[in-house]
Chains A and B, each alone.
Chain A
């Protein structure tokens, strides 16, 4: 009896979580069809004109392109660094492996704003004033812990004797990695890559201190648009990003199963 009540309660909470998490997204999606130029729920009719206006936003294309470059490059770098480190920690029989793992993951919990000002001071002190490269370095610091966390957990569960078996059966080392390790760890790679990409793409607190007048990332532009004129164009842009993510999530589910990805979250 009490077990059934507990299960019902758990389901009520789960439904609450879903409604709560989705409500701002629904507001954004609805506002993007607003016929009036205020960022609000549409009253009387729908319009697609805000979608047409996205590309006319001042400085939109350079900001989008910069954010995509940073997100892709920082994710790729973090995946390379983080995977190597995770293999070392799983295989190396190193003393203090747990401490090293904590050290690799800890920047995740460091305040972004503090990292931003620290890097600003540092780059100034060493005379490094290439905005684009400074942003890339900062974004790798932001994304590496996401990748390290997922890959360390994934590698810890990976059975390395599979690699030896593949070698015994005639695979080269590279083939063993491609045919055995990568498919087995696909959920870890996907979730690490996804979290890393989003952490970089949506980063505001670190980037704000490192951008200059000509080089601005998309989130910085977005906060500027909201401050200046919050019209539904921003809602339209966010809706498009959401639709892209839904497609990505469905594809990931097909490829590896979302539950496997969520299970490797930590």
Chain B
């Protein structure tokens, strides 16, 4: 590093000034997040372990010790996993097509990615209940195509839930992957071909690693959004599929049991923190390459 080799800058030098300016610029954001984000979360942790008579781990015992609540945690993770895998499977190839598009086609395709973000999650989830009803459009199309003979029940099933969830979170997978694919140098593939690499090997060894930062960003974002989704499960499956999010809402809004709600919140928070840390680690390793 050149900075280390140079003699220590005198007080008031430009480096010094730049650093203190940087700290002054960062201070408002960090202070705000400390007061309005970190402190409330620490307080929540406190609430989750405070029973009527002092410290109590009762809520955690209930969450992690009963089959019903273990299943609730698994439901949240399962929804997030299925959503992430399916979204990645369609978004990854689609991002490549998107990156090849030019002019009007590109504008139209990108508009289609941005547009759904403008419709409320509530209304989109409700639209899926219309699409997936027994007399809904999806059933009618499947019958017309002779895929099925009679309408099948889709709404209030896990399939409906996952379809709706992928639909709502898909743009958050496509956009970060698209952002890295557009920066790929196409000559890399040509170079690999010239050097005799078969296309599949070239793709796996060159393109896939180069797109990893986008994939990591998309996977981390979609997983953490889906694991804590509240509106989608509520409207598309309801009581049949209790999740951590619905447990929290119920504890606060109906049962008035803040300690248990806070504990469920902390579990969800820990899942989110694991995802953030893991993705930051992986992204850091990608950057260091």
Beta-carbon contacts of B150-176 to A below 8 Å, as 1s and 0s?
000000000000000011001100111
Question: Within 8 Å CB of B258, what residues of A?
Answer: 117, 121
Q: Is the interface of A mostly helix, strand, loop or mixed?
A: helix
In the complex, B96 has a CB within 8 A of chain A:
yes
Q: With CB as the reference atom, state the residue of chain B lying closest to A235.
A: B123
Chain B, 127-154, CB within 8 A of any chain A CB: 127-128, 130-131, 137
Of A21, A98, A125, A258, which contacts B167 at CB under 8 A? A21
Q: Are the CB atoms of B98 and A245 closer together than 8 Å?
A: no
Q: Are the CB atoms of B252 and A110 closer together than 8 Å?
A: no
Q: Are the CB atoms of B272 and A109 closer together than 8 Å?
A: yes
Question: Within 8 Å CB of B200, what residues of A?
Answer: 2
In the complex, B64 has a CB within 8 A of chain A:
no
Distance, CA A241 to CA B115, complexed state (A): 10
In the complex, B282 has a CB within 8 A of chain A:
no
A12 to chain B, nearest CB (A): 8
Task: Give how many B residues have a beta carbon under 8 Å from the other chain's beta carbons.
Answer: 101
Of B26, B176, B235, which contacts A84 at CB under 8 A? B26
For the A-B complex, the count of residue pairs with Cβ-Cβ distances under 8 Å equals 301
B213 to chain A, nearest CB (A): 8
Q: Are the CB atoms of A27 and B268 closer together than 8 Å?
A: no
Distance, CA A234 to CA B122, complexed state (A): 10
Binds A, one of B27-35, B51-59, B65-73: B27-35
Question: Within 8 Å CB of A48, what residues of B?
Answer: none
Beta-carbon contacts of A226-245 to B below 8 Å, as 1s and 0s?
10001000110010011011
In the complex, A45 has a CB within 8 A of chain B:
no
Q: Are the CB atoms of B122 and A222 closer together than 8 Å?
A: yes
Of A111, A222, A234, A262, which contacts B245 at CB under 8 A? A111
Distance, CA A252 to CA B41, complexed state (A): 37
Question: Within 8 Å CB of B126, what residues of A?
Answer: 39, 226, 230, 234
Q: Are the CB atoms of A14 and B29 closer together than 8 Å?
A: no
Interface residues of A (CB under 8 A from B): 2-3, 6-7, 9-11, 13-14, 16-18, 20-25, 27-28, 31, 39-41, 81-82, 84-85, 87-89, 91-94, 98, 100, 102-104, 106-115, 117-122, 125, 137-138, 140-141, 144, 148, 194-195, 198, 202, 204-205, 208-209, 218-219, 222-223, 226, 230, 234-235, 238, 241-242, 244-246, 249, 253, 258-259, 261-266
17 contacts between A and B (CB under 8 A): A13-B92, A14-B94, A21-B170, A27-B131, A88-B21, A88-B26, A92-B22, A103-B33, A114-B228, A121-B44, A141-B32, A144-B32, A198-B117, A204-B122, A235-B123, A238-B120, A262-B113
